[in-house]
A and B are shown apart, each in its own frame.
Chain A
Amino acid sequence: MIVTRSDHRDTIERLVEDAVPVRPLAPALATMTRWGGLVLGLCALGIASGGLDRLTTSAADPMFVAQLAALLVAAIVASVVALHAVVPGEEPNGWRLLAACLACAPAVVTPLLLPAERPVDVAHFAAAGIECAAVTLAAGLVLFAALAIAVRRGTPFRAGAAALFAGTAALSAASMVARLRCPAEERWHVLAWHLVPVVIGLTIVALTRTRWWQAGRPSNPIGDTF
């Protein structure tokens, strides 16, 4: 297609005609504060349903605290990256993305350092864990939906990265909720019922990352390129 200067004139006129007031994108800090409030609410629910006594006992264990800290850092870093990735001129470059990935890595590594018990009864292992996996996925879905609403208001130039980091943030925070509810300190339980649901959730986000971005989005009244 060859576009001429008069086409630009026409385009500008059409854009000006369409220039209705718009609500500016909320600053990342404001969005994070709101989202953080939701995370705190879910954490409170997790603590209430899991029992404060168990949590108080586990809170004395540095390894448990380290896990929670790693998940919190991953949630904060990933949500910051996701929210900035959709603002032109603020997109993180390769180094920042790498740094963000490294900041999220301890959340995966810390469960591997937990002590492993000898194989136990499979039925008991499944019965004790399935609830943790369900809580992680359900909380992850709620937190992802809340973050996705904010992220989808931005530009889709880095849609893939924004979706992946939004998913990482939501699932890390969800995993934190699940850990507060179930402070078990057994490696296989944490890996199978707390970490694997995160991996499953992230895989789903990765596979559908462009679809969820476009779903329900109004078509462009001006053109079809964006």
Chain B
Amino acid sequence: MLAAQGGDRASYRELLDDLVPDLRAYLRRTMNDAEDGEDALQDTLLALHRYRHTYSPGRPFEPWLFAIARNVARDHLHKRRQRRDRERHPEILPEQAVDLDEGVERRLHEGIAALSPSQREAMMMVKLDGYSVEEAARQTGTSPGALKLRIHRAYLALKQLLES
């Protein structure tokens, strides 16, 4: 990144190419939707470029990068909520009843979608994507203790939803 700040284009291209897979995985997970994740990735790359001067060489790179991605994702989630509130069509709701397993699965998806972005992010990174608590904490710019608490709260919220 230091080389990129200095205008080294080859290093910058290499850096961006290296970052895309991690950012894509992170944003798809956070957005809970592949297409929205790709949109957010595009905007994250633009934001990273625009604010590349805010990276301080003495500081770790990952928290800086994922803080930008997290802010972009938050912005996208906010816009998506606004869009869905405006475009809610009752006629496209499913007409047929689903069996129990599908119902549980659907409720689980709904439950995950209803979690706060930080809880969903923490739960999916550690429980589904296999990140260690320390790795996930580093990427999300929080402490391992706080991340564990988020996962615990997410778990309680999902349990309550499935039991209700």
Residues of A in contact with B (beta carbons under 8 Å apart): 1-5, 7-8, 11-12, 15-25, 27, 86-91, 153-155, 157, 220, 222-223, 225-226
User: Bound complex: CA of A97 vs CA of B47, how far in Å?
Assistant: 25
B46 touches A223 (CB 8 A): yes
User: Bound complex: CA of A222 vs CA of B47, how far in Å?
Assistant: 10
Residue from the list A17, A25, A226 in contact with B54, Cβ < 8 A: A25
Q: What are 21 A-B interface contacts by the 8 Å CB criterion?
A: A3-B35, A3-B38, A3-B42, A8-B38, A12-B45, A15-B49, A16-B13, A16-B16, A18-B49, A19-B7, A19-B9, A20-B7, A21-B5, A22-B53, A24-B56, A86-B54, A89-B64, A90-B59, A90-B67, A91-B67, A155-B71
CB contacts (< 8 Å) of A91 on chain B: these are 67
Q: Which of B20, B46, B68 has the most CB of A within 10 A?
A: B46
Please provide the 5 A-B residue pairs with the shortest distance between their CB atoms, ordered closest to farther: A21-B7, A88-B67, A89-B63, A89-B67, A22-B53
CB contacts (< 8 Å) of A2 on chain B: these are 35, 38-39
A88 touches B64 (CB 8 A): yes
- Name A's interface SS: loop
A155 touches B7 (CB 8 A): no
Which residue on B lies nearest to A7, using beta carbons? B42
A24 touches B51 (CB 8 A): no
User: Bound complex: CA of A20 vs CA of B8, how far in Å?
Assistant: 8
Take A2-B35, A22-B53, A88-B54 as given contacts and tell me if A16 and B9 are in contact as well, using a CB distance cutoff of 8 Å.
yes
Residue from the list B5, B7, B43, B66 in contact with A89, Cβ < 8 A: B66
Shortest B74–chain A CB gap in Å is: 8
Q: Which of A4, A88, A154, A226 has the most CB of B within 10 A?
A: A88
A16 touches B12 (CB 8 A): yes
B45 touches A15 (CB 8 A): yes
B12 touches A19 (CB 8 A): yes
User: Bound complex: CA of A107 vs CA of B8, how far in Å?
Assistant: 48
The answer to whether B141 has its CB under 8 Å from any CB of chain A is yes
Shortest B57–chain A CB gap in Å is: 7
B42 touches A11 (CB 8 A): yes
